[in-house]
């Protein structure tokens, strides 16, 4: 195998695709060629890369010929359609969508957490859901050092988790409320302010609101987003019976997901032991004091996972600790992890299928 690679970004004009392009450039991924793929809507658009302009192509079967790695972030249905075709042409696909994540023969990986799972891929590697991805380095380190007994997570997820149109919708609806100068409590004016035929990303107003429903409802009255956190965490930790429960909430934040996490451990522990473990964990920044914390506004645009408010769980003082975990959902939760996975595949010569 050559030491430079042809990479295609499927969904190159989207939020995640934009970060993928930026990260391939700044991390100096060994590229032979970069192909930018999207729908017919943005075919012909020109996007900057390393001081040049690259033209976006509408995805087709020919797009994947000669491609070594596909970074796919155009939505689950698009991955379902195109990923098998890319694999048929010999590419390894790192998929950011939920489509393949729980399939048995598809490794689900956070780089630096469960890299060994990558080795025996069959052409598809899945990137976890953004709220799961940022929690993984924390849970893995604490499980290895102390042992997890039960995990309860409440998420506070930014609108960028739903794509670029969702960010635009939050900005436009916020601007509307501010310009009105008074609070419209029934939300009726919300739709009227947006352009006619606007495709609304959220079924409830997001400006000045919080919405405890991300994705559709599924089993046992949980949303699919909540169940992704449960099942994907269990898969990556190789703990199929780990008791874990989640409430996923959308908040009017542009970029950065926050999580309030309560962990019961298998043995007595303390906030200081938890802090010491996390201080040794790569890609995690730990607050020096228990009253310190990060917020999404400060962490957007940065790479680490930030852990603060490390404190004793008053309902389980012997073996319970509470945390506040914040990260940039577009980076560790999507694009950064995908590029790190590509780097890991290359560094270990794991690009060939079934190696």
Ligand X SMILES: NC(=O)c1ccc[n+]([C@@H]2O[C@H](COP(=O)([O-])OP(=O)(O)OC[C@H]3O[C@@H](n4cnc5c(N)ncnc54)[C@H](OP(=O)(O)O)[C@@H]3O)[C@@H](O)[C@H]2O)c1
Residue nearer to ligand X on the CB measure, 7 or 277? 7
84 forms part of the interface with ligand X (CB under 6 A): no
> Using CB under 6 A as the criterion, what x/- string covers residues 102-131 for binding ligand X?
----------------------------x-
Interface residue with ligand X, options 54, 286, 329, 342 (CB under 6 A):
329
On whether the CB atoms of residues 96 and 73 are closer than 8 A, the answer is: yes
13 or 173: CB nearest ligand X:
13
39 lies in the site for ligand X, by CB under 6 A: yes
11 binds ligand X (CB under 6 A): yes
Question: Does 252 contact ligand X by CB under 6 A?
Answer: no
* Residue from 164, 234, 311, 312 in contact with ligand X (CB under 6 A): 164
Least CB distance to ligand X at residue 21 (A): 11
Min dist. Cβ of residue 58 to ligand X (A) = 7
Q: How far apart are CA 33 and CA 121, in angstroms?
A: 23
Nearest distance in Å: CB 106, ligand X: 15
CB of 324 to ligand X, least distance (A): 19
**CB neighbourhood size of 166 (10 A):** 20
Judged by CB under 6 A, the residue of 8, 59, 109, 321 near ligand X is: 59
Measured N-to-C along each axis, helices 336-347 and 15-26 cross at an angle, to the nearest 10 degrees, of 40
Residue 238 CB burial class (10 angstroms; 0-12, 13-18, ≥19): exposed
Q: Give min distance, CB of 64 to ligand X, in A.
A: 13
Span from 14-22, 147-155, 192-200, 273-281 in contact with ligand X (CB under 6 A) = 14-22
Does 99 participate in catalysis according to the annotation? no
Please say if 257 is a catalytic residue: yes
What is the separation, in whole angstroms, between the first and last Cα of the chain? 13
Contacts of 347 (CB under 8 A, 6+ apart): none
Q: Which of 40, 94, 42, 45 is nearest to 343 (CA)?
A: 94
76 is a site residue for ligand X (CB under 6 A) = yes
Q: Where are the alpha helices (DSSP H) in 121-163?
A: 130-145
* Chain residue whose CB lies nearest ligand X: 14
The smaller minimum CB distance to ligand X, of residues 256 and 320, is found at 256
Task: Tell me how far, at minimum, the Cβ of 57 lies from ligand X, in Å.
Answer: 10
Out of 13, 134, 143, 281, the residue judged to bind ligand X by CB under 6 A: 13
Contact (CB, 8 A) for 277 and 141:
yes
Contact 157, 226 (CB under 8 A): no
Instruction: Select which of 99, 121, 130, 322 is catalytic.
Output: 130
Smaller CB distance to ligand X: residue 11 or 320?
Answer: 11
- Rounded CA separation 312/107 (Å): 34
Residue (83 or 237) nearer to ligand X, CB? 83
Closest to 307 (Cα-Cα) out of 258, 263, 272? 258
Rounded-to-integer distance, Cα 168 and Cα 182, Å: 21
Residue in the block written with tokens 């522990």: 269
How far is the C-alpha of 264 from the C-alpha of 323, rounded, in Å? 12
Min dist CB 160 to ligand X, Å, is: 5
Q: Tell me how far apart the alpha carbons of residues 309 and 325 are, in angstroms, rounded to a whole number.
A: 9
Size of the site for ligand X (CB under 6 A): 29
Assess contact for 90 and 124: CB atoms under 8 A: no
Site residues for ligand X per CB under 6 A: 11-17, 38-39, 41-42, 59, 73-76, 78, 96-97, 130, 160-161, 163-165, 329-330, 333-334
Catalytic residues: 130, 257
């Amino acid at each position: 195998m050559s030491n430079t690679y042809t990479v295609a970004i499927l969904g190159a004009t989207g939020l995640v695709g934009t970060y993928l392009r930026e990260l391939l450039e700044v991390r100096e991924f060994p590229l032979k060629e970069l192909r930018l793929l999207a729908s017919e809507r943005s075919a012909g658009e020109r996007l900057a890369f390393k001081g040049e302009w690259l033209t976006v192509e509408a995805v087709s079967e020919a797009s994947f010929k000669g491609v070594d790695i596909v970074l796919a972030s155009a939505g689950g249905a698009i991955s379902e359609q195109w990923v098998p075709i890319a694999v048929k042409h010999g590419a390894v696909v790192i998929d950011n969508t939920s489509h393949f994540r729980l399939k048995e023969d598809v490794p689900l990986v956070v780089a630096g957490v469960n890299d060994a799972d990558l080795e025996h891929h069959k052409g598809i590697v899945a990137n976890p859901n953004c709220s799961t991805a940022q929690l993984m380095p924390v849970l893995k380190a604490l499980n290895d050092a102390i042992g997890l007994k039960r995990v309860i997570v409440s998420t506070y997820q930014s609108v960028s988790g739903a794509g670029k149109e969702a960010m635009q919708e939050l900005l436009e609806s916020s601007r509307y409320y501010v310009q009105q100068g008074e609070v419209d409590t029934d939300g009726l004016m919300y739709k009227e302010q947006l352009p006619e035929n606007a495709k609304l990303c959220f079924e409830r107003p997001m400006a000045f609101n919080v919405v405890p429903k991300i994705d559709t409802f599924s089993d046992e009255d949980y949303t699919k987003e909540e169940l992704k956190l449960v099942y994907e965490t269990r898969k990556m930790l190789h703990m199929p019976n780990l008791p874990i429960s989640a409430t996923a909430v959308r908040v009017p934040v542009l970029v950065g997901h926050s999580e309030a996490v309560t962990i019961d451990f298998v043995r007595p522990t303390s906030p200081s032991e938890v802090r010491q473990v996390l201080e040794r964990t790569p890609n995690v920044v730990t607050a020096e004091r228990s009253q310190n914390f990060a917020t999404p506004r400060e962490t957007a645009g940065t790479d680490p996972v930030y852990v603060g408010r490390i404190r004793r769980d008053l309902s389980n003082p012997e073996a319970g600790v509470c945390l506040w975990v914040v990260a940039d959902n577009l980076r560790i939760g999507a694009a950064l992890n995908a590029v790190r996975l590509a780097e890991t595949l290359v560094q270990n010569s794991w690009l060939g299928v079934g190696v």
